[in-house]
Amino acid sequence: MHSDMRTAKGLFLCILAVTCLAATPAGNNEVNQVIQAALLPSPLEDNLRRLTDEIGGRVPGTPAMQHAVQWGMQALSGAGADSVHSEAFEIPNSWAEGATEMTATTTYEVSPKQVGGGTILTSFRVRAVSLAWAPALAPVKHVPVIDIGEGKDADFQKAGEVAGKILLVHTTVLKKWDDLFAEYMNAPPVIDRAVKARAKAIAFMATRQHDILYRHINSQSGEIDRLPMVIVAREDGERMARLLAAGQLVWADLSIPNQIGGPIRAANVVGEIRGSERPDEFVILGAHLDSWELGTGALDDGCNAAMVVDALRAIKASGVTPKRTIRFILFSGEEEGLLGSRAYAFTHRGELDKAQGVIIYDAGTGKTTGFSLGGRTDVRSLARLLIAPFAQFGVNDLATDMEWGSDHFDFMLEGVPTFLADQEEANYLENYHAVSDTYDKVDFAQLKKHVAEAAGLSIELANLPQRLGPRLTHDQIEQTMHDTNSLEMFRAFGLWDDWQSGKRGRQK
């Protein structure tokens, strides 16, 4: 019976889609005009060069982030926005890393017959960075390091007493999107166990090889985490693990002088092209302006911030007039827990009935393969028509899972249709949040195609004769979580409690 109902629903959507075909912009010239305008030369490269090379990594609360907000205001104005403004929100704590230092010491047996024979101590420097929004650790010396495996329950039981020790945690090398998701999913329970067992600190092995260090965060709302934690270069971590496996003792000197302060003001930047017929209805095209600071946040997500600016320029240059308003938003505080988009969705909750759709790009310059619709099977047929003009760029797939991890998330939880660009990994993961996320990694030929897709989809949504789909109610959103088997993910990140308590997402 369930499957019959699904067939009937599918048939209805199919009829609706066919009726709409003639009326969608996909069937006329507007979207093609925008695509053509998007592919012409533009200030895209220079805008991104200024954002990454001149301004650099952009953490909220720093001068670089303030410069980036100015950059966004000027770039959106320069691209021809009808209006540009910023919207402030608060992040509970500021955070900056100091000069984190770690040295490992072990023993070496020199033959007693040799001069200086006996047990001697040998040391080596461990390349390490603090986890973001983790507490500081005043210098400690000669603290025992123990191998805690992957940090599962059984690993802790096997390890025995861990109080006051530094726990070395094994990880998997990052290759695919699923690995990245696992990195976020796996850490919180390890931290729970370490806190409970009163460990001194955690040292996670880097998931990248070749000494690459990167930022990772486990706190969800800009709050300071519970335990001092570092990521250690994979090669140094493996060396310590081999020593311990060989029965050697390993101690570490560790200093994590993070600078932590009180609440900070951050700001999203919003540029608009006002709709000619239904200005109060709106489409959002967004990417995040903030980044981590070990590199310069080129792939994550500077390139797409520059892309959003260029999409505005392309629509203006095309001469096509949007009937609904398009808001081009550069979000801040994304890296600290989607804080800018969360604040925006919360503040604008009263007008989200008028949101036609939210499009987000946040995965560097890997080819767009399609879009994730946030669990919305009801908009799939119409969305299929909307993406048809981008098949020339390889955009073909629509996924109906509920993804976490970017700025679509709180709009999805408010029942608004969302389009999160699904992209190939390309070079995104190896440089993710890392020292190596710099301008030279950006594939501009591909990025121009993303400008065409994002600008094209924005104009289609803005000029679609009808609404793409209704804003879902609280109960419909919760049903979607069940239908897409998303509960485990919501629970793992503490999002289920936030949803249940009404702290986050559409109210009952």
What does the binding site for Zn ion look like in residue numbers (CB under 5 A)?
A: 300-301, 362
Contact in structure between 431 and 45 (CB atoms under 8 Å): no
Q: What phi-psi label fits residue 142: left (phi over 0), alpha (psi between -120 and 50 degrees) or beta?
A: left
Return d(Cα 179, Cα 184) in angstroms, integer: 9
Q: What phi-psi label fits residue 370: left (phi over 0), alpha (psi between -120 and 50 degrees) or beta?
A: left
Return d(Cα 304, Cα 407) in angstroms, integer: 12
Q: What phi-psi label fits residue 116: left (phi over 0), alpha (psi between -120 and 50 degrees) or beta?
A: left
Residue 400, classed as helix, strand or coil, is: coil
> What residue type is 197 in one-letter code?
A
Q: What angle do CA 176, 361, 293 make, to 5 degrees?
A: 75
Return d(Cα 304, Cα 74) in angstroms, integer: 16
**Min. distance of Cβ 282 from Zn ion in angstroms?**
23
Beta bridge partners of residue 259, listed in sequence order? 96
Return d(Cα 401, Cα 380) in angstroms, integer: 12
Return d(Cα 10, Cα 360) in angstroms, integer: 27
Distance of CA 290 to the CA centre of its chain: 10
Cβ closest to Zn ion, residue 89 vs residue 428: 428
Nearest to 417, CA basis, from 461, 465, 451, 453:
461
Residue 391, classed as helix, strand or coil, is: helix
Contact in structure between 184 and 489 (CB atoms under 8 Å): no
Nearest to 61, CA basis, from 129, 132, 130, 131:
132
> What residue type is 148 in one-letter code?
I
Return d(Cα 212, Cα 84) in angstroms, integer: 38
> What residue type is 350 in one-letter code?
G
Cβ closest to Zn ion, residue 24 vs residue 218: 218
> What residue type is 504 in one-letter code?
R
R_g (Cα) of the chain, nearest Å: 25
Instruction: Spell out a b/e string for 495-506, using b for 16 or more CB atoms within 10 Å of the CB, else e.
Output: bbebbeeeebbb
**Residue matched to tokens 């669990």:** 375
Nearest to 296, CA basis, from 105, 506, 51, 47:
51
Return d(Cα 455, Cα 42) in angstroms, integer: 14
**Min. distance of Cβ 334 from Zn ion in angstroms?**
6
